[in-house]
Structure 1
Amino acid sequence: MNIRLQLFELEDQNWFPHVVREGMQDYLRFMISTLDTYEAALPCLAELLTKTKQRHITDLCSGAGGGIANLREALSKTMGTPVHVTLTDLYPNLDAYEYLKIESKGAIDFIPEPINALDVPEHIRGVRTIFSSFHHFPPHIAKNILQDAADKHAAIGIFEGAKKSWTELLLLWLTFPIVVLLITPFIKPFKMSRLFFTYIIPLIPLGILWDGTVSLLRIYPPEKLKKISEKVHAPNYIWRTGRVGKGPGKHVIYLIGYPRV
């Protein structure tokens, strides 16, 4: 699937109820963590940390922090030293972040104030990452996110947990309605609002089905990511993009960039 349609996601809209947005993000976090979707991205992340001699990741557009706990643990083992993660978002999911902070014993922290990926404050350091969110931005804004990283000499990794195929779209429509009904009671931290907007007024399932469909259509294939990175004014940066991973739920599209040493 080489096409890309901008369309719109409910989660992006200012008017969309935050309690439903959080419920959708919590579901995504549960699925990404359970499937260990971003396992194949580990070598790319290790490369970014090694090339920049850092052990700190600042995650932008974190949503509910899906998969970050597994990745942090795996990275710490790979690097042979603890890796710290700071979660940020324009709409911070504070309950999820508190849960991840407690579970990681403080190795995962967060910034409670809104952080815009287009203009990350100078004092926020570390390798920047964006998981499952870069597709939200049209090309000119996506380019500006990369430019902000380059202007502030920050390494950045863009990761989308998908192969971007019609098969994935079909599986979403066939399996999701059943899966969401089965797993919702087991998502932590527990929230009555999540049960209400799943089983009584099913705004969360409907929102995920719509946004999941649109997300697959919006994801940039590697060829388009390469074109965007080529427009970034960063003569001393190395950019690389591609696909990694095998098996259902294990495919990752990536773009990494870091200053040339």
Structure 2
Amino acid sequence: MKLRLQLFEFEDLPWFPKVIRAGMMDYLRFMISALGTYRPIVPLLLAALRHTGSARVLELGAGAGGGTAGVLRELRATGLPDARVCLTDLYPQPAAWQALQAANPGLDFEPTTVNALAVPAALPGFRTIFSAFHHFPPTAAEALLADAVRRRSGIGVFEGAGKHWAELLLAVTVLPVAQLLITPLIRPFRFSRLFFTYAVPLIPLFTIWDGCVSILRMYPPAQLLALAHRADPAGTFTWQAGTVRHWWGPRVTYLIGVPRGS
């Protein structure tokens, strides 16, 4: 599927209720972590970190931190024992992040708002963005990459899908059923999450819409490379993009850029 539609996601809207956004993010974190969605990109990320000589990952647009703990554990187990991850977001979720921090050595977070298009110099590290790059329209996406180029900070963009029509079908059939089944298992427990899933099912309904739109908004590898080359007109970075297959079938789309000569 090469078509990209900008559309909109409810979680991006400033007026969208925080309690609903948090419930949606908690569900995504649980599913991404349980399925190990980003495990296939660990070798790519490990190679990029070694290339840049960095052991610190600065995650932009972290949401509720879905998959981050698993990626950190894999990095530490496969050749980078001192790896660290710092979570950041335009809408920080310290309550969710504190639970992850307590259970995962090497994971911390920035509790204040961080704009991925202008990351403060006080927050160094190899930048990553998981499941969130599609939120940025082309101009903003290019600016996000250009900010990393300007700071000579390596960057990895990872989307937990391969942009196929079958994934849209999955988003409106299997995943909503799974959400209803697993919501009582999500921690930390929140009564609001149960209320807005079963009594007034706003969380599932908005999750279906945002999930479908996420796939339609995704940039395929060729478009990711085009954005990267516009953000780096002098060619000071080495860029690669593609997809890797997940163990249960779907693909993960990625873009990785590292400074030349680092």
Q: TM-score of the superposition, structure 2-length normalised?
A: 0.97
Separation in 1, partners of 2:2, 2:191 = 40
Structure 1 distance, partners of 2:48, 2:92, is 25
Structure 1 residue 219 and structure 2 residue 218: aligned? yes
TM superposition shift of 1:176 = 2.2
1:177-228 CA distance string (max 9 Å, x none): 2111110000111111111111111111011000000001001000110111
The amino acid that maps onto 2:28 is: L
Number of matched pairs: 260
State the secondary structure of the residue aligned to 1:258: strand
Which residue in 2 is equivalent to 1:187?
186
Instruction: Indicate conservation of the 8 Å contact 1:89/1:114, yes or no.
Output: yes
- How much does 1:235 deviate? 2.4
The alignment partner of 2:129 has SS state of strand
Q: Is the 8 A contact 2:89 2:115 kept in 1?
A: yes
Match for residue 142 of structure 2? 143
Residues 135 and 217 of structure 2 are in contact (CA less than 8 Å); yes or no, is this contact kept in structure 1? yes
Please give the root-mean-square deviation of Cα atoms over the aligned residues, in Å: 1.1
Deviation digits for residues 144-203 of structure 1 (CA, Å, limit 9, x no counterpart): 000000101100000000011111111111112211111000011111111111111111
Structure 2 partner of 1:166? 165
CA contact (8 A) 2:55 2:80 kept: no
Alpha-carbon distance change, 52 to 27 in structure 1, aligned in 2, over 3 angstroms: same
Q: Which amino acid aligns with 1:108?
A: L
Cα drift, residue 249 of structure 1? 5.8
Alignment of 1:219-238 (within 5 A): 219-233=218-232, 234-238=234-238
Which blocks of at least 5 consecutive residues in structure 1 are unaligned?
A: none
Once the two structures are superposed, residues 21-69 of structure 1 have per-residue CA deviations (whole angstroms, 9 ceiling, x without a partner) of: 0110000000000000001111111012101111110000000000011
Are 2:88 and 1:117 equivalent residues in the alignment? Answer: no
Q: Is it true that 1:102 corresponds to 2:102 in the alignment? A: yes
Task: Tell me the secondary structure at the aligned position of residue 51 of structure 2.
Answer: helix
Aligned mates of 2:180, 2:245 — CA distance in 1:
28
Cα deviation for residue 79 of structure 1 reads 1.9
Stretches of structure 2 that go unaligned for 5 or more consecutive residues are none
CA–CA distance in 2 between the matches of 1:249 and 1:172?
A: 15
Cα distance in structure 2, aligned partners of 1:248 and 1:25 = 22
Where 1:31 maps in the other structure, the secondary structure is helix
Report what 1:240 is aligned to. Answer: 240
> Kindly, what percent of the aligned residue pairs are identical?
50
TM-score, structure 1 length as denominator? 0.97
2:51 is equivalent to residue 51 of structure 1:
yes
In structure 1, the residue matched to 2:196 is 197
What is the deviation of 1:246?
Answer: 3.9
